[in-house]
Amino acid sequence: MRFRDDARRRAAALGRTVILAEGWDDRIRSAAKLLERQGVAQVHMLDRSMAGDQRVERVAEHLAMRRPDKVRGAAHAKELAADPLRFAASLVALGEADAAVAGATCATADVIRAALWAIGPAADIETVSSSFYMAIPRENLEFLGDREDRFATDDFVLTFTDAAVVPDPTADQLADIALSAARDRRRIVGDDPFVGFLSYSTKGSAEGDRVEKVRAATRRFHALAPTIPADGELQVDTALVPGVGRMKAPGSAVAGQANVLVFPDLDSGNIAYKLVQRLAGATATGPILQGLRRPMMDLSRGATAEDVADAAAAGILQTAE
């Protein structure tokens, strides 16, 4: 079984409801049929206008309560509530749906703004970010025989974070990003996270402000989540390959075993995920928004119906205990 199929199967077992915010798009309609046919979720699609929907009043009140400084009055609140992105996010925030999916026709920034307004970040997270789940066929990776991973599927799954949202995170933001990704790793992949903070340096092999940022992020992460294995700064081969990890970072609980790769900036994360996707035959699920109080998923505007279904399954899995 591939990771994509396993994720949908586990999402289906949760019996959740998903809002697809862009129901006018052919890919979204195809994804809705796919999700229902596979039993992944109960699906509701929105149209371009919420006119006549009895929930608009409740959504308008919610938006005004969340950001009174942005709302000029009741009529303006209803106008804001009629936007499909804000409407979908508000239904999730109000508990009338378990997850929302948007971004097939809207920019990532618009999806995130709607999510932050209506839902907001998780209680202990200040930085909303994203992850890609890179499912690589095991037969494509020779070094896996030396790793301790216990695979539930025929794919080797790595979490790449952040590769879509925060351009140049601070050390504190990197720690936040890593914490969100580690928590979601358990829910979405189903195994234990081993967090590697990546750099061009391993354990002092180089110096510089960029390296120190990664070291500081690692220290901050240890303070936030002392029970989650994490290490940094690590070069990517040290993080992934057991033999290299033993040589370059002896005694590390993460070197050679990392499955959550924390990139120091958006350039490196985005470049890496596209390289792995194209050169290693990986299936990339994402960008999966993380760090929100309740799930709202973003899509690439080039997303296929299968990509939409994957995003919906990931959002549902974020609700798992």
H, E, C per residue of 55-76:
CHHHHHHHHHHHCHHHCCCHHH
pTM, to two decimals: 0.93
Domains, the chain, ranges and CATH?
3-120+292-317 (3.40.50.10950), 129-283 (3.40.50.10750)
The pLDDT of residue 99: 98
How much is the average pLDDT of 193-203? 97
Mean pLDDT over residues 241-263, rounded?
96
- Does the pLDDT of residue 151 top 90, yes or no? no
Residue 145 pLDDT exceeds 80: no
pLDDT value, residue 272: 97
Which H or E run contains 159? Answer: strand 155-161
User: Using only C-alpha atoms, what is the Rg of the chain?
Assistant: 20
Query: Is residue 121 scored above 90 in pLDDT?
Result: yes
pLDDT at position 229 over 80: yes
pLDDT bin (cut points 50, 70, 90) of residue 141 is confident
* pLDDT band at residue 154 under the 50/70/90 scheme: confident
- Residue 198 has a pLDDT of 98
In this predicted structure, the answer to whether residue 152 has a pLDDT above a threshold of 80 is no
> Long-range CB contacts (< 8 A, 24+ apart) of 44-48?
44/17, 44/18, 44/19, 44/20, 44/97, 45/19, 45/20, 46/19, 46/20, 46/21, 46/22, 46/84, 46/87, 46/88, 47/23, 47/84, 48/24, 48/84
pLDDT score of 143: 76
- Compute the mean pLDDT over every residue in the chain, rounded to the nearest whole number: 94
- The string of pLDDT tens digits covering residues 60-73 is 999 999 999 999 99
Please give the pLDDT value at position 1: 79
pLDDT of residue 295: 97
pLDDT value at residue 309: 97
**φ, ψ dihedrals at 46, nearest 5°:** -105, 155
- pLDDT tens profile 30-56: 999 999 999 999 999 999 878 778 899
